[in-house]
A and B are shown apart, each in its own frame.
Chain A
Amino acid sequence: MKRFGGRLSLASVICVAVLGTGVMAWAAEPIVLGVPTSLGFLEGKESLRAVKMAVEEINATGGVMVGDEKRPFAVESLDIRDAAPGVPVPDALLGIEKIILEKKPAALLVGPFRSEALLAAMDLIAKHRVPMLGTIAMSPASEAKIKEKPAKYKYIFRLCLNAKYLVKYLAGSMAFIKERFGFDKVYILNQDVAWARKTAEITTQVYFDKAGWTVVGHEAFPTGTTDFSSALMKVRAKGAQVILPIFDMPQSGILVKQWNGMKVPAVMAGFISPLAGPGAWKTFDEKIGGAVNCNFEMGSAISSEKMEQSVEFLDAYEKRWGEPIQAGHGPAPSYESVYVLKEAIERAGSLAPDAVVEELEKTNRTGVMGQIHFDEGHQAVYDINPKTAAVAAVFQWTSDGGRTLVFPPELAAGEIQLPEGLKPAK
């Protein structure tokens, strides 16, 4: 009997231990964050790393306070390949639905690259009621849908720059070039994808047409183009003084290399994604000096001494992953999106999608990109003062491989310099 009692006690202890462990495990059940994006592309890869870094930082402090318990974040990612040429939008949607159904995420971060995929995914996200904080796709069309049917599409937010704000930054840079050098003839070269076409169109309508510029030529290139020689000859033939490039494909850095090799007498100022990071100098054989490039968010491959958090973020990233950020679009808002979500969950005290969305709308956070708050289309507001809005960064590659921040004026460390051999018009 005594022996039986001893065994019973032992079994009880084991049961309590097992149950106890189970209860503890349940108490620490992670909050899953889904990251469905194009992981094979630089922006996707580095955005995922930025998300993981923020999650590690938050988990190191005990996690997220949901009601009265602290829970850690966990990241589940999936490569939806929407940025690759030829991948149909429905394939990307299948990936997004797969991660929602299989991983049951509390929120989706980063999201599709192509606005075509984001727009198509909005119904899917609304159906499953999963908050999404996108940091790559840029077409303002998604905001229009949210404004049109807020009850349905309220789950979708965007922290990165959109095409409208990019236009504002490009127009600001162009105005500066016009005022300083007297240039007023521009040639627009853009990638033949929705956001780039829209950016070129809006920049022409709201700035060039109204500010006394002449658009002497405009060409769209299919994704994957590697020879820009004909277009550059046209730039020279038509006497353009400024080239406005708008590209996010890996091959687009070649445009600047060709511009340099063909000694085209025009300032190259716009957005070319491969030119964003410090590694571009070596990659493009040190032939990108003079090019002016807009990084979509402060903290994405560039920092300002006047914004301490952006410097700390880049340093922490390099320390964590062993290499600096090279993508000028994605990493900073992806990092911030985790903190924005954390704060919203803590304010809501729950993971209920509608409660979280309600708190996301009230976001007021100062971070790596400046001050973050959303407008009624759930787009983070961008401007030129980091104390009142998020900011992007325009910089110029110098002839010795450095990068000088030239816009916005509040953060500028120098002024745009003309490439060798090019004279001002005034």
Chain B
Amino acid sequence: MLIGTAIYALINSFILALMAMGFNLTFGISGVANFAYGAFYVMAAYGAWIFTHKAGLPYGVAVMLSIGLTTMGGALMYRFVLMRVRGQTLSEVIATFGMGLAILELFRYMGFVGFEYTLPNLVEGSVFFLGVYVDYQRLLIVAVGALMVVGLWLFTRFTSLGLAFRGIAQDERTALTFGMDPDRIATIAVAFGAGLAAIAAVVIVPLGTISPEEGYDVLIKALAVCIIGGLGSTGGVIAASFLIGFAERFTDAYIGSHWTMIVSLAAILLVLAVKPSGLFGHQKELEERI
């Protein structure tokens, strides 16, 4: 039971890391807290479902198309909505939150609610491991999660675009003097974030169903991970994912399922009270801000 819970907690941690990575990337580079993030996640899942079931496309093609279109959706949102309010934090939050609400409620209005909205596993079967059965889809999530972490690390260190991302993230004005276009980089960052949400959706959704509520749930989880880890910190996202992932599964196993949802929210409150910048965040401390 203990080992089984630990294995599923590890998987849950990778699920959370995948869910939060795109949100964190966007915020870390462009400074935009994309509150439409959960909506992009759900949009990608519905997209794959629609392309498969309504357009009759092969599942692999539907998934790639959905990821591509969601990424494009992120870029368009920045170009036509966020660029106009760039730098006004409250306006950015309201604009992205409004966009997210509009997308999610549009799906609900169009009747996309029901158990039939789910995606098939990308890999079938399960393996007996340390006394517990684990299905291959969950192992795929771990693999994709690990790949994304390593991939992002390599991307931001060994490619010119990745280095530009880091440059903008470190000091936008100085980066500007080196010829980097902050709006171009921010557009790509928001698009990348949306794309990562889409990748997370197509590997995680086969474990559940697609519903507009899932968008709100994913946003809350991504926020919880990023706030606890420290907004913009990749190491923080990984650490916080493991912290919440293990806390959720062990609460579920040893206290009760109905307490699980409270864990993330309680963790946010606790971290905000003790260390407002998050575990690995670099936000200024209160005395510095004053």
Contacts and interface: CB of A to CB of B under 8 A. Distances in A.
Contacts of A22: none
Contacts, number: 91
A182 interface: no
Contacts of A252: 115
Given A230-B252, A251-B115, A262-B133, A224 B217 contact: yes
Nearest to A233: B4
Contacts of B114: 41-42, 250
Given A220-B257, A224-B213, A326-B116, A263 B126 contact: yes
Given A221-B257, A231-B257, A283 B207 contact: no
A240 interface: no
Contacts of A42: 113-115
A226 B207 contact: yes
> DSSP majority for the B interface?
mixed
Interface in B236-255: 249, 252-253
Interface in B255-282: 256-258, 261
A177 interface: no
Interface string B4-34: 1100100010000000000000000000000
Contact of B213 (A85, A192, A219, A230): A85
A263 B215 CA distance: 30
B106 to A, nearest CB: 13
A40 B8 contact: no
Contacts of B213: 84-86, 224
Nearest to B216: A86
B156 interface: no
B135 interface: yes
B8 A283 contact: no
Instruction: Point out which of A84, A224, A250, A280 has the most chain B C-beta atoms below 10 A from its C-beta.
Output: A250
Contacts of B5: 230, 233
Contacts of A262: 126, 132-133, 135
Interface string B209-230: 1010100010000000000000
A254 B208 contact: yes
B115 A283 contact: yes
Contacts of A285: 120-121, 124
Interface in A269-290: 273-274, 279-280, 283-285
A224 B115 CA distance: 11
Nearest to A221: B257
B258 A237 contact: no
Contacts of B133: 261-263
Interface string B104-122: 0000100101111110110
A253 B209 contact: yes
A234 interface: yes
Interface residues of B, number: 33
Interface string A208-235: 0000000000011110111101110110
A233 B258 contact: no
A220 B260 CA distance: 11
B261 A250 contact: no
B1 interface: yes
Interface in B181-206: none
B256 A41 contact: no
Given A234-B1, A285-B121, A253 B115 contact: yes
A45 interface: yes
A111 B4 CA distance: 44
B4 A222 contact: no
Given A230-B249, A254-B208, A285-B120, A222 B257 contact: yes
A109 to B, nearest CB: 20
A221 B256 CA distance: 9
Given A233-B5, A279-B116, A326-B116, A251 B208 contact: yes
Instruction: Point out which of B115, B116, B121, B261 has the most chain A C-beta atoms below 10 A from its C-beta.
Output: B115
B266 to A, nearest CB: 15
A220 B253 contact: no
A259 to B, nearest CB: 10
B206 to A, nearest CB: 8
A268 to B, nearest CB: 15
Given A230-B252, A250-B209, A41 B261 contact: no
Contacts of A250: 113-115, 117, 209, 211
Contacts of B253: 230, 233-234
Contacts of A233: 1, 4-5, 8, 132, 253
12 contacts: A40-B111, A219-B257, A221-B258, A222-B258, A226-B208, A230-B8, A230-B253, A262-B133, A280-B115, A283-B118, A285-B124, A326-B116
Interface of A: 40-42, 45, 84-86, 192, 219-222, 224-227, 229-231, 233-234, 237, 250-254, 261-263, 273-274, 279-280, 283-285, 326
Given A224-B211, A254-B209, 4 more contacts: A233-B5, A234-B1, A253-B209, A262-B132
The 5 closest A-B pairs by CB, nearest first: A226-B208, A274-B115, A230-B252, A250-B115, A261-B135
